Chains A and B, each alone.
Chain A
């Protein structure tokens, strides 16, 4: 038995230690930023804070939450995530269901599938897309953030492949009992596909919460920005020209601790949903991607 040998035991211990270090390295930056956000101003601005707050206080959070811009952007973000996930998932489900049928049952299936898959292979790119949004008069509207990404061929293909694994006998039984396609989809397909749906919803939610670039180019009015876009401007580029703020306010938010608190608040929703959905996404990912 190899794992009783001395050499293997030594390897096991080293491996254990290495994996521990590697996984801690994945969360260290987050811990650092958390420590900075709870520190006093002076050590934070002097970059003296490591992984533990120096001069613990919660002023940064108080300041962040007293900034109306910040609160409004959180509302916009939540609105965006809800709208985007509901619409995106609805479109994905409605498209994946018919396309998961066999060719004999749904003529032209392959053609329709390619119609969607082609969008994975080729796209108009940034500038033509921008011009279409502009021509549709979606500028400065939340729909510019929600609708363009609603059709995700990738998600559709994953779900389609999952739907294909649903036993055909179940569907036939339902049809014999008089269920139409809508009922079959609702009472048979969706409950069975929970792991896959949970995974895709999680990915869609995270994508909407995290995306910032479309907000920056489509929403010229900074009042309507989602949180990620606001954070990008305040924390990363430190460009305050677009946001209406008094100079003294700018001074307040460019403080390292306030920036850190904002970064951390931006990460909180992810930290909250992620552990619960994690067990689903491993399953959902693998089922969709690796086939027998």
Chain B
């Protein structure tokens, strides 16, 4: 039964790993893997000395960190608030609506956001009629671009992120609340002393695990939202590898950039899983 899975994995997942040798070569398609000259770590050195690639690594970190922090915080708070609702129908309705954006692709959302956030788009129209301010360059200025990327990502994913927290909240033993109530705790006190401690383990697990995605700033999203104006603050490793590696056919340099990312991610994921196992006894299988 394992054969189809193994064959597909070897061909499409393990062969590319072997293909990473081109990161150490000056790969020429007409020479092939065997005959292309070896250059050792030259491409990695080049990457760390080129100003644009260093900037790209910095961008990736900055965007991913912001996404991770708020991507944990917002769903957590949202789940706490949602948990207070006792109108079941309304609760279901809210859940259905907030899960939806997660299932939309960044192509669709990119198309919508570019329309919404343009200089004369509805959002800027609304802002200027409410506050009378100049149009905000959401997608045309580096810093604003980062802001837009983080906020739109949170907007897309926070609903889906609440699922796990809600599950953890329903697993809290009700008798703890009753006991707290007997001791005269109000709802706020109960939240502080019962709910939050009960859900902390899962927050820790999710937080540690997200360490592994610290170099994943979101290729799909950035690619569909960015333009040449914001490359300085918005270009990330993945988009950079694509632009330089495939579009400018610098295969070896692109592979080196990709490998740099894969290696760091690998180390971080392993560390994260170990920590999650140690602190919260989390295992993947």
Contact = CB atoms under 8 A, between A and B. Distances in A.
B122 interface: yes
B173 interface: no
Interface in B206-242: 219-220, 223-224, 238, 241-242
A278 B112 contact: no
A29 B122 CA distance: 10
A235 B186 CA distance: 52
Interface string A259-292: 1100100110011001100100010011001110
A130 B224 CA distance: 20
A206 interface: yes
Contacts of B8: 91, 147, 150-151
B17 A128 contact: yes
Interface residues of A, number: 93
Contact of A2 (B13, B155, B181): B181
Contact of B104 (A95, A123, A129, A270): A270
Interface residues of B, number: 90
Contacts of A213: 219-220, 223
Interface string B15-30: 1111110100000000
B224 A127 contact: no
Given A15-B81, A19-B81, A129-B16, A212 B9 contact: no
A253 B12 CA distance: 37
Contacts of B107: 210, 212, 228, 231-232, 235-236, 266
A150 B219 CA distance: 20
A126 B242 contact: yes
Given A50-B122, A124-B19, A125-B241, A36 B262 contact: no
Contact of A235 (B13, B99, B111, B242): B111
Interface stretch (A63-71, A78-86, A110-118): A110-118
Given A27-B100, A125-B261, A266 B108 contact: yes
Interface of A: 1-3, 5, 7-8, 11-12, 15-16, 18-20, 22-27, 29-30, 32-33, 36, 47, 49-50, 90-92, 94-95, 97-99, 112-113, 115-117, 119-132, 136, 147-148, 150-151, 156-157, 160-161, 181, 206, 209-213, 217, 228, 231-232, 235-236, 256, 259-260, 263, 266-267, 270-271, 274-275, 278, 282, 285-286, 289-291
Interface of B: 1-2, 4-6, 8-9, 11-20, 22, 78, 81-82, 84-87, 90, 93-101, 103-105, 107-116, 118, 120-122, 125, 155, 159, 163-164, 167-168, 171, 181, 185-187, 190, 202, 219-220, 223-224, 238, 241-242, 245-246, 251, 254-255, 258-259, 261-263, 265-266, 269-270, 283-285
